[in-house]
Structure 1
Amino acid sequence: MSTVLVTGGSGFVGIHVVLQLLAAGHTVRTTVRRPERRDEVLTMLREGGVASPHSLSFFTADLTADQGWREAVAGCDYVLHVASPLSTRVPDHEDEMIIPARDGTLRVLRAARDAGVKRVVITSSLGAIGYGHPPRDAPFDETDWTNLGGADVQPYIKSKTLAERAAWDFVAREGDGLELSVVNPAGIFGPVLGPDFSGSIEIVKSLLDGAMPAVPRVYFGVVDVRDVADLHLRAMTAPEARGERFIAVSGETMSILDIARLLRRELGPRARRVPRLLAPDWVVRLAATRVPLLQAVVPMLGKVRRSTSAKARAELGWKARSNEEAILSTAESLIRLGLVKA
């Protein structure tokens, strides 16, 4: 088995990647920004069914600083770079997200190259593929890149695009034989193991909490976090994955209203606060002038971006759970952990 570093093991995707690596018998390392987050990771691993992770070790490293990365990657066969800055608000300046994402990715790649790591797998996003384009019926695939001049390109989307571009450029110019693969997930849902989760999960939590009386007309692709983790492991070792990108999406896009209806239908009384109504676009735009969280929603209103994971399925044998299972497992875990209103 291999020695694998997972950056950002305390995050929603990172913890599931760690779980699957441990289950496969690998020796796993993970980085945390602060040493005290080690206990949070161990708590989430117990929730995920791993009581005593003897083959897991921790390193303190931050994407914004050089310290700790050389030690973290020393002796590793592979690095899965999952950590990335993520915010549910629009930052005051886009560089608050862009610089840590891009420069942090380059830090990890330099350390991996210098340590003789075989391959790095980076968690990018569908946001690096399907934004800034005019409406189209054809699904986006791995040959597409986000057009950074588009009106719907928010700072997070821009940060993921620029970080991935920088990674490919680095490997081509300075990689010295370092291999790179990239996973581009759609909206990531699935079982939550603790209070640290992604913006996609926040959508389900807000619906269950009744935080909005009506939902905006927003659509996105869906994928289960367990399947995202599985694709990372496949991309880590498969010869076919060298130098390739892989979209991770389960199927057709869903709207937030679709999710709300699914929750009400399947959860019964536990979904009593979930809204039934669709908010008119003009109401969302007006509300966004007073609610900063909604500012990132406005450019997405009514836009449907279809994408395909045919490449991952055909070349890596990847399979994905249904949209419905991904959404419902999110809701069930939030309820079980007491993370929604009683």
Structure 2
Amino acid sequence: MAVALNSTIFVSGASGFVGSHVVYQLLEAGYSVRGAARGSKVVNLQAAFDSFNTHENPNRFKAIDIPDISSSDLTEALKGASGVVHVAASLPGRADVDITLKSALNGTVHVLESAHRAGIHKIVITSSIITFPLPGPFTDDSWNPITLEQARINHWVTYDYAKTQADKAALEFTKSHPEMDIIFFCPDWIFGPLIPPPYSHHLIPEPSPSALSTTGYIYALINPRNKHWTPSPGFIDVRDVARAHLLALSSQYKYPQQRMLLKAPEPTSYKKAIEILEARFPEIRERLANKDKAPGDEWAKEDKALEWSMKTKNSTWPEVWRNWTECVEDTIESLLDMEKFWKGKGLEVRGAEEAPF
């Protein structure tokens, strides 16, 4: 069942890196959006997209304060909406084990139950590649075998377990509600630029490493002292992730496979990324990380999901993926723009000094 372009979509985690791209593309496509955020982020979120509101349609975008996605009343937020995009999640290291588990598991179930009560059948959930076992298979009944005991070891494992359990609970929900069309997108490492200026300037008015999310690993490439790399290879551009969510909303086809891996069919190389930046931005060469210490092409051998992505790219994604070069260049161009904006306000910009997570 397709959601019409003039419909209203509820987006959780709308102020985040992925969520803001989903909101931006929805608005550009013609949808109306209610975006959920918490606390001071609500003000910034409304400021970011307020220009989409007009005299004729003053509620084209509305930021809504949802203090706790696992328990807050969503009745008003979902009233009249035709679709839900559930992006909100605690990232590794952002919260303790119990809070992370509660947010992921209870949050997902609460959103689904609330959507069902509101009569909304089209749901798109942002999941993660880590819910699958590696090196695969990548099917609905293939799961990361992580246990709760292992989840308490460190924040990475906690995140893996929380996302896996949340997706399992959501799939169980669909069994008792077959009328609901629910799809999960399971992206690899998500990189890419922030939403375009001036929207990004309103959304992130001051330096905030946490606001960069996983793309902070690309920002770290312009720190000569950088020693932080993602623990595993693989990537997908955030704009392609958001585009996949929109395609799912507009599709009349109910996919027989609900859990879809999103992964660019191209190996990642941080060494190549630094070489790309050397050529594209010669003015920041002195800021670049040491490419001789960066993971290179050898990572392709470790990327167990890459072969699957390359084999299935034509059947699962008929359009062109953004490649590594475009992703890296556009990310740094976006972040250099943010640095210029922050400095213009008299704010101190220290760059990426620590690991994003």
TM-score normalised by the shorter chain: which range applies?
0.7 to 0.9
* 2:287 corresponds to which of 249, 269, 273: 273
Cα distance per residue 1:35-88 (max 9 Å; x no partner): x32331244448xx858684112222134542231221122111000111113x
Structural RMSD (CA): 3.2
Where structure 2 has 5 or more consecutive residues not aligned to the other structure, the ranges are 1-5, 195-199, 343-348, 352-357
1:185 counterpart = 2:184? no
1:252 counterpart = 2:256? no
User: Which residue matches 1:148?
Assistant: 146
User: Which residue matches 1:224?
Assistant: 237
Matched AA of 2:146: L
Does the CA contact (< 8 Å) of 1:59 and 1:68 recur in 2? no
Matched AA of 1:227: D
Does the CA contact (< 8 Å) of 2:42 and 2:63 recur in 1? yes
Matched AA of 2:138: D
| Residues in 2 aligned to 1:113 and 1:72: alpha-carbon distance in whole angstroms | 13
Does the CA contact (< 8 Å) of 1:6 and 1:14 recur in 2? yes
Matched AA of 1:182: F
1:1-342, aligned counterparts within 5 Å?
1-34=6-39, 36-45=40-49, 54=58, 55-87=60-92, 89=93, 93-130=96-133, 133=134, 141-143=138-140, 144-148=142-146, 154-173=157-176, 175=177, 177-192=179-194, 193=200, 194=204, 195=208, 197-212=211-226, 214=227, 218-242=231-255, 244-277=258-291, 303-307=302-306, 308-309=308-309, 313-314=314-315, 317-338=318-339, 341=350
| Residues in 2 aligned to 1:90 and 1:7: alpha-carbon distance in whole angstroms | 17
User: Which residue matches 1:288?
Assistant: none
| Residues in 1 aligned to 2:230 and 2:76: alpha-carbon distance in whole angstroms | 47
Distance 1:7-1:231 versus aligned 2 partners, 3 A rule: same
Where structure 1 has 5 or more consecutive residues not aligned to the other structure, the ranges are 282-299
The worse-fitting range, judged by mean Cα deviation, of 192-201 and 121-130 is 192-201
TM-score (norm 2): 0.76
- Give 3-state SS (helix, strand or coil) of 1:254's partner: coil
| 1:115 Cα offset (Å) | 0.6
- Give 3-state SS (helix, strand or coil) of 1:239's partner: coil
- Give 3-state SS (helix, strand or coil) of 2:214's partner: helix
| 1:314 Cα offset (Å) | 2.5
Distance 1:17-1:260 versus aligned 2 partners, 3 A rule: same
| Residues in 1 aligned to 2:189 and 2:66: alpha-carbon distance in whole angstroms | 27
Does the CA contact (< 8 Å) of 1:29 and 1:58 recur in 2? yes
| Residues in 2 aligned to 1:142 and 1:237: alpha-carbon distance in whole angstroms | 23
Q: How many pairs align?
A: 310
Does the CA contact (< 8 Å) of 1:205 and 1:331 recur in 2? yes
| 1:242 Cα offset (Å) | 4.0
| 1:125 Cα offset (Å) | 0.8
Cα distance per residue 1:73-107 (max 9 Å; x no partner): 122111000111113x386x533322211111111
| 1:331 Cα offset (Å) | 0.8
Matched AA of 1:266: R
| 1:247 Cα offset (Å) | 1.8
| Residues in 2 aligned to 1:242 and 1:72: alpha-carbon distance in whole angstroms | 27
| Residues in 1 aligned to 2:7 and 2:328: alpha-carbon distance in whole angstroms | 33
Percent identity over the alignment is: 25
| Residues in 1 aligned to 2:294 and 2:18: alpha-carbon distance in whole angstroms | 33
| 1:266 Cα offset (Å) | 2.6
Distance 1:74-1:159 versus aligned 2 partners, 3 A rule: same
| Residues in 2 aligned to 1:242 and 1:74: alpha-carbon distance in whole angstroms | 26
Distance 1:312-1:251 versus aligned 2 partners, 3 A rule: closer
- Give 3-state SS (helix, strand or coil) of 1:120's partner: strand
The worse-fitting range, judged by mean Cα deviation, of 145-154 and 323-332 is 145-154
Matched AA of 1:178: M
